[in-house]
Structure 1
Amino acid sequence: MKTVLSTKILTPSQKELFLNSGIGLVHYDAISIEFTKVDIPQDYKNYIFTSKNSVKAFLNYAPNKKIANYKAFCVGEKTSALLRKNAIKIEKAAENASDLANFIVKNYKNQEFLFLSGNLRRDELPTILLKNNIRYKEVEAYRTYFNTRGFDRTFDGILFFSPSGIKSYLEENSISNSFTFCIGNTTANEVKKHTNNIIIANKPTVENVLVKAINYFKKND
């Protein structure tokens, strides 16, 4: 029986997809998130969110929020969905941080931004903003920790949901000949450093990653 490792704990309904497909599943959380109790400045109207965790931090720690006054510039469908759920106006949603930064440079050069980030955030967005003299303040709003765990076996497939999850997994394991399934291009670009056996989800959702893996192993059984 083919067996897949998920680097994220799946919900009961998500696990059922594998049980019904006849594919074995092992799952664990490769990373954990801890929110940093910070004072979020209130004199900004434009906020940059590159993950849903930065949105959660904003909702937790921004006092006296007048939601209608804020404009969000964000990356990813999950981030967008959480912003919409909380009635925060999305000025621009991009697929990746570089695209978002270039949009800001082109269309909002004279405005100021607050960038809520994590401790493992990537460099693309701040590098582009700095290079183009965009005024912004960065606040670290959450921290990502690796939950390292070694596996004494090789899996037929590995499901990855973030670059951090990949780095955590690789601290005590290797990808070897496993086929990898990634939630998006940013995650896939990190996996490409270690293997070319990659399939990227059509949509950046957990369910789509699962379906990609199930369909691949059913087809190649």
Structure 2
Amino acid sequence: MKNVRVLSTRKLAFNQKGYLLNAGIQLLEVDFITIRHKTISSDQKQLNRSLLITSQNAVKSILEQFPKSELSNKEVFCVGQKTKALLEENHINVVAWAEYAETLSELIVQNYSDREFTFFCGNLRRNTLPNALQLASIKYAEIEVYETILQPQRISTPLDGILFYSPSGVESYFNSNDYNNETLFCIGTTTANALIKRGFNKIKTAKHPTIENVIIQCIKYYK
């Protein structure tokens, strides 16, 4: 394998970096977004029994603001295996989960349409779940519990590949950088679509939407 250098658009955990470095891939890491938790007002703290959560960021924010004893009495519907794992680590009951919001929305509409939900989300949340709930006349209250802030930075180092984990990471990177025929590795279809909309097609999508799977796709590609 020739010398390969890739950029991760977020800083990786020690073991995640190790996978790439042990494969002989040079790694540059830069956080292109940052997350800021938002305080929930007192009048928003009356929660429905069913909670809808689409990211680990939302979980971390609500864990700071609600006692675990209250959350453990709820039934949670979530997006993502890592989100599910974080909830269960904190003894919160996950009734149903899916890797993508589209799949979870179908599951809710088909099997849980009698529920009323509290939907915890970020400021850049997609319309997939709200639209599905509205079309099915399922009641929900939406609470914004975190904010995604773009941190565009200029990268002058030549790259062979770029690892993306969210549409906001795509936006932040290309706010300050041009495309130079790098291979673009992404965490899932939503992030891939953000790249496709920009006219890129040299895209490799992880088989499962986790950081580890993005890394695996990268290693396999350059092996």
Same fold, judged at TM 0.5 (above): yes
Decide whether the 8 Å contact of 2:117 with 2:139 is kept in 1. yes
Structure 2 unaligned spans of 5+? none
* 1:197 alignment counterpart: 202
Which piece of structure 1 moves more, 97-106 or 130-139? Answer: 97-106
Is it true that 1:149 corresponds to 2:153 in the alignment? Answer: yes
Q: Secondary structure at the match of 1:138?
A: strand
Is it true that 1:113 corresponds to 2:117 in the alignment? Answer: yes
Question: 2:32 is matched by which residue type in structure 1?
Answer: A
Is it true that 1:173 corresponds to 2:177 in the alignment? Answer: yes
* 1:70 alignment counterpart: 74
* 2:22 alignment counterpart: 20
* 2:60 alignment counterpart: 56
* 1:136 alignment counterpart: 140
Decide whether the 8 Å contact of 1:201 with 1:209 is kept in 2. yes
Q: 1:211 aligns with which of 196, 211, 216?
A: 216
Question: 2:167 is matched by which residue type in structure 1?
Answer: P
Cα distance between partner residues in 2 of 1:139 and 1:6: 30
Cα distance between partner residues in 1 of 2:38 and 2:132: 25
Cα distance between partner residues in 2 of 1:19 and 1:104: 41
Question: 1:103 is matched by which residue type in structure 2?
Answer: L
Is it true that 1:97 corresponds to 2:104 in the alignment? Answer: no
Identity, % of aligned pairs?
43
Which piece of structure 1 moves more, 70-79 or 95-104? Answer: 95-104
Question: 1:196 is matched by which residue type in structure 2?
Answer: N
Question: 1:216 is matched by which residue type in structure 2?
Answer: Y
Q: 1:38-57 counterparts in 2 under 5 A?
A: 38-39=40-41, 40-57=44-61
Q: Secondary structure at the match of 2:152?
A: coil
Q: Secondary structure at the match of 2:20?
A: helix
C-alpha deviation, 1:211, in angstroms: 2.2
C-alpha deviation, 1:43, in angstroms: 3.9
Cα distance between partner residues in 2 of 1:69 and 1:171: 43
Deviation digits for residues 83-112 of structure 1 (CA, Å, limit 9, x no counterpart): 111111111101211222222222222221
Cα distance between partner residues in 2 of 1:142 and 1:201: 26
Deviation digits for residues 66-91 of structure 1 (CA, Å, limit 9, x no counterpart): 34421011111111111111111111
Which piece of structure 1 moves more, 59-68 or 148-157? Answer: 59-68
Which piece of structure 1 moves more, 65-74 or 156-165? Answer: 65-74
Cα distance between partner residues in 1 of 2:69 and 2:103: 28
Is it true that 1:80 corresponds to 2:71 in the alignment? Answer: no
Cα distance between partner residues in 2 of 1:132 and 1:208: 34
C-alpha deviation, 1:157, in angstroms: 0.5
- Deviating beyond 3 angstroms after TM superposition, the runs of 4 or more aligned structure 1 residues are none
Q: Secondary structure at the match of 1:42?
A: coil
Cα distance between partner residues in 2 of 1:43 and 1:10: 34
Cα distance between partner residues in 2 of 1:143 and 1:69: 26
Question: 2:55 is matched by which residue type in structure 1?
Answer: S
* 1:4 alignment counterpart: 6
Cα distance between partner residues in 1 of 2:208 and 2:127: 24
Deviation digits for residues 152-200 of structure 1 (CA, Å, limit 9, x no counterpart): 3442100011111111111111333111111222222222223111112
Deviation digits for residues 120-149 of structure 1 (CA, Å, limit 9, x no counterpart): 111111112122211100000000001110
Structure 1 unaligned spans of 5+? none
